[in-house]
Structure formats: C-alpha cells, structure tokens
Amino acid sequence: MGKRRTDGQKKEEGLVDMDYRMLAKDKLKQLTALRIAVQNLEQRITYIDKMIRWCKKEEEQISLRAEREELIALYRFRKADVQRIEQALAALDPQQRTILDRFYIHRSAYHIERLSEELGYERRAVYYHHDDALRCFALALYGVVDG
C-alpha cells in the first residue's frame, strides 16, 4: 500500500490536482466561441487562398502561404475540440444536455428557476441533476474520472 502525497508534495513533484469539473465547465462555456472561431478561421483561410492566387510578388506569396499553414493547423485543432465536446454532449440524455446547455452554453438570467419549472424539480434537485450531468459529460469527454 503506497503513501498518500500531501498537496505540497504533489506540487513539488509537478503533480497538480486538476479538477475535472472545472475543465468540463470551461469546455462547455467555450463551445459557442469555439464554433465561431472555426467559422472565422475557415473564412480567413479561404480569403488567403484568393490572395495567393492574385498576388504577384514572391515574398508576399511566401508570407501568405506561411500564414495559411498556421491557420490550417489552428483550424484543425479548434474543429477537433468542437467535435469532441459535441460528441460528449451527444452521449448524454436529453435532460442532461438541456441542463448543461442552460448552465453553460446558453445561460440566461434565472436559469435555475426556469429549469426548475421546466423539469418539475425543486432547486436543490436541479443542482443534483446538474452535478450528475456534468459528471456524465466529463466521463464522455475525458474517460474515467473517479478512482
């Protein structure tokens, strides 16, 4: 049986305790912005492609091609991130998706009260179902999170 490490020992050894809940919440909050970023990157790449065709100076063409390659790499990374988040959301049941959507993706004023009314739960039950939905989302996104 191994010894438990203290928080101080973990930090010294570079083993930082990441809270999967915070990571999952951040991914959900970023989803709309990530989708927009993917669209903007796609448009920028298309624009640069046109510029390359019309550009006569070799130096400018090289610069444009370099920028295009960087944007393509970023586009692929962002698009893969969006797809992973969307796949994890698709693994949830409709109620779990609704709860996470209202908490993080399309949050509005009085979202708890609205969910409580819509789902027929007391506020406390909404939080309970939220915690369960977030855990299920994290499992779908990251794999096993509990020891």
Q: Which residues contact 88 (CB under 8 A, 6 or more apart)?
A: 137, 140, 141
What are the extents of the domains in the chain? 20-142
At 145, is the pLDDT very low, low, confident or very high (cuts 50, 70, 90)? low
pTM: 0.81
d(CA 119, CA 143): 28
Tokens of 60: 């400018």
Q: For 90-109, what is each residue's pLDDT tens digit?
A: 999 999 999 999 999 999 99
Q: Which of 17-21, 61-65, 111-115, 119-123 has the lowest mean pLDDT?
A: 17-21
Q: Mean per-residue pLDDT for 36-58?
A: 95
Q: Mean per-residue pLDDT for 26-44?
A: 98
User: Cα–Cα distances in Å, from 133 out to 2, 25, 46, 63?
Assistant: 33, 11, 38, 46
End-to-end CA, the chain? 15
d(CA 129, CA 143): 20
